[in-house]
Structure 1
Amino acid sequence: MPAPVLRDDGLGPQRSEYSSDSACRKGYPGEPQAVEPSPVGLQDFMAVKKLGFGDSGVVYLVKHKLSNKLFAIKKMEKEFLDSDAIEMLLQEQRALLKVRDRAGLLRLEASFHDSECFYHVTQFLAGGDLRGQMSKCGRLRPRHALFYTANLILALEMLHGLGIVHRDLKPENIFIDADGYPVIGDLGMSKHRSFTSRPPSLQDQSGCGVYSAPEIFLGKSYSFEVDFWALGVMLFEMLCGRKPFSDGFDGLRESVLHDPVVFTPRDRVDIHTQIFVFHVLQKDPKDRLSPGAMKRHKYFRGIDWGRLAHREIGAP
């Protein structure tokens, strides 16, 4: 067996106790148990660098020793995970397995654990995330915003077709692949549509309340429409370099529930784009555009949806 990875690389010991299809450690009440050794473990990877921090752990760039391919590993320390965090971890793994090999959705390559941590191995996307793009540019060129939005509609259609509501769509969870296409990741907050419970409070939304739809703030039941609301907020932010609603904690709820969406002349956003955003950011989810209506909207005039779905259109 290879020598253990040094602790100062951040990844920890190499011993793996999970099957590749389970992120559950023995000793957690009510969690399924690993029934066979994992075909992949931490010993198969070499740490390259730390990429950043996610909502529930640290993400590293790693190289697979046998193939020399690059992957991302999210490391989550068991010591700091309560039962709710464990459930979110399992939700994310189930969702990632369900969407595996679906275009526009992050691909899970393996899951395993050692005595101290859980690990998710996913594809590495060299383009970073949408937040990084927006931070560099302030606001995106209209054709870039259009391209990202159109692709995200297709990805959400696919996700929703599997019965999954993402619930945590935000620029930090949109990654850019080597071809410039956006990919939706971080499914830890996702739920199957049949899931029914009290919607999470603002404090439980991992800091992304500004992308949350009015029905979540009102404590009402919600469904796929909350993801399209978040997409509308992101599109406004991509185009204008600011959010459409107050993001101060005290005023956020009132702003989302009552404030209109306002474009200014300085935003230089054309009328078809403005109308599209208005229709997506309707306070009542029943009034929001459906995916089909979105794709027929004049904002997307000239888009060949078939070619886009087959990635036959080059990124701008």
Structure 2
Amino acid sequence: MWKARTKSLGRLFGIQKSEKLDRVGKKARGHKQTHRCQDDKDVKVDKGSQFDQGGECTPKNCAQDNTKKVEHSRSRNPVLRDFEPLKLIGGGSYGNIFLVRKKCGADENKLYAMKIVDIINFLSQDKIKFLDTEWFISKIVCHSPFLARIYYSFYTESKFCFIQDYFPGGDLSVYLEDMKKLPEREARYFLAEIIMGIQHLHELRIIHRDIKPANILLSSDGHVVITDFGVSKDLLSKGKNELNYTLCGTAFYVAPEIINKKGHGMEVDWWSFGVTAYEMLAGLRPFTISDVEDERELIRKILKDDPVFPESFSTNAVDLIRKLLKKKPSKRLGERKGGVEDIKRHPFFKGIKWKDIGKKATEMPFHPRPVAGDSNLIQKAFDIETLVHSKYEVCTYKPCTELNGK
């Protein structure tokens, strides 16, 4: 079973030879069962138990924000059981997300979100690239306060585990379900921070391709971070004007040029941003279908129809969103000669102090309530998810400073 998976795991973690991974697996199986935390006390683990975890780990420091760095334990590299499960906070077809606490090391007691993905669901060539992309881009973007990053990554015999920042406010879609819609004066601050996140991605020559409320996380103080880079595209190896032709994204937010397969670039993110802005202000998306309509009707509306604006929208809001939802990419706000500065200078954002936005120094209008989670039998569920199948645990990580050439 281990050998059958090594090729896909090698692609994901940048190890080219499956033989090398197999040696890592053998080493994991014979690894000394000693666990050393910051206090340098050895913790013995019975061979063959559900906590039997070997393997090596090579995490490095990564910026937690613009001023602080997370320093990991120097006495030894972490393993999965260094993370105490607190509650289940999300899940889907990919697996589950747990709130965890680091139990030892220099970042002891820090809260993280642990995303656990079933390997069996991602072993095909088409699916493995989504994890590969998310892992790679999360390392590149880790210096931006508006983009989610990965601190540790593990794989076991049956799971991929990504350790990321924990955002107690959940995502923007959950917040909008509660609030229905937002007043323009408050929505401007959320939208301004989303703009900064997209700008940072584009400066790194990365297209997100799935901007939507569900991929906008909220901290306890209301600041936003863009996450989920699974369908993102890095243009580092492409020419400046080279286009992409992959059909990807979420149907309600996807740009016309992606649907047409005529080639797309960074301007698709500004279309999705426009749809998100409309949804925040109106409480519904600009292009929707009824229960009796199918996806073909949705596609027709995106390609042909202009959005209808509620009377509650101000003139500036209508003008901003209309320019973001131009069908022709070259005419779209954010893609023209002025680039992102055209969006920042739009009258809708009058009074926004962009330097403060960039530093997250602005007091956000809402502080969302922490998202509830399921704590029932959480330790048992966590054991099943991560520990029973962890005989071949390996943690791999490269510091973002190396990837950025610093």
Where does residue 196 of structure 2 map in the other structure? 154
| Equivalent residues of 2:245, 2:264 under 8 A apart | no
1:83-129 CA-partner distances (Å, limit 9, x unpaired): 22211111111100000131100121111111110111001011110
Query: Paired residue for 1:235, among 277, 280, 286?
Result: 277
Does residue 302 of structure 1 match 2:351?
Answer: yes
Given the superposition, is the C-alpha separation of residues 307 and 96 from structure 1 closer, same or farther in structure 2, using an over 3 Å criterion? same
**Secondary structure at 1:233's aligned position in 2?**
helix
Q: Aligned runs of 1:163-178 on 2, under 5 Å?
A: 163-178=205-220
Where structure 1 has 5 or more consecutive residues not aligned to the other structure, the ranges are: 22-37
Where does residue 269 of structure 1 map in the other structure? 313
TM-score w.r.t. structure 2 length? 0.67
Where does residue 51 of structure 1 map in the other structure? 89
Q: Distance in 2 between matches of 1:197 and 1:215?
A: 10
Does residue 62 of structure 1 match 2:100?
Answer: yes
Q: Distance in 1 between matches of 2:56 and 2:138?
A: 17
**Secondary structure at 2:306's aligned position in 1?**
coil
Q: Distance in 1 between matches of 2:197 and 2:283?
A: 24
Q: Return the offset for 1:308.
A: 1.3
Q: Distance in 2 between matches of 1:307 and 1:14?
A: 48
| Equivalent residues of 1:155, 1:184 under 8 A apart | yes
**Secondary structure at 1:101's aligned position in 2?**
coil
Does residue 105 of structure 1 match 2:163?
Answer: no
Q: Return the offset for 1:48.
A: 1.0
Q: Aligned runs of 1:1-316 on 2, under 5 Å?
A: 1=35, 15=53, 17=55, 19-20=57-58, 39-54=77-92, 56-66=94-104, 67-81=108-122, 82-193=124-235, 194=238, 198-200=245-247, 205=249, 208-247=250-289, 248-265=294-311, 268-290=312-334, 291-316=340-365
| Equivalent residues of 2:196, 2:358 under 8 A apart | yes
Look up the equivalent residue of 2:344 and give its one-letter code: K
Q: Distance in 1 between matches of 2:150 and 2:261?
A: 32
Q: Distance in 1 between matches of 2:77 and 2:231?
A: 27
1:154-185 CA-partner distances (Å, limit 9, x unpaired): 11111110111001111111000122111000
| Equivalent residues of 2:282, 2:310 under 8 A apart | no
Q: Distance in 1 between matches of 2:275 and 2:286?
A: 7
Could you list the runs of 4 or more consecutive aligned residues of structure 1 that deviate by over 6 angstroms after TM superposition? none
**More contact order relative to length (CA 8 Å, sep ≥ 6):** 2
1:221-270 CA-partner distances (Å, limit 9, x unpaired): 111111111010011001001110124423111000011011132xx111
TM-score w.r.t. structure 1 length? 0.85
**Secondary structure at 1:289's aligned position in 2?**
coil
What is the root-mean-square deviation in Å for CA atoms of aligned residues? 2.2
Where does residue 8 of structure 2 map in the other structure? none
In the alignment of these two chains, the number of paired residues is 288
Where structure 2 has 5 or more consecutive residues not aligned to the other structure, the ranges are: 1-34, 36-42, 60-75, 335-339, 366-406
**Secondary structure at 2:164's aligned position in 1?**
strand
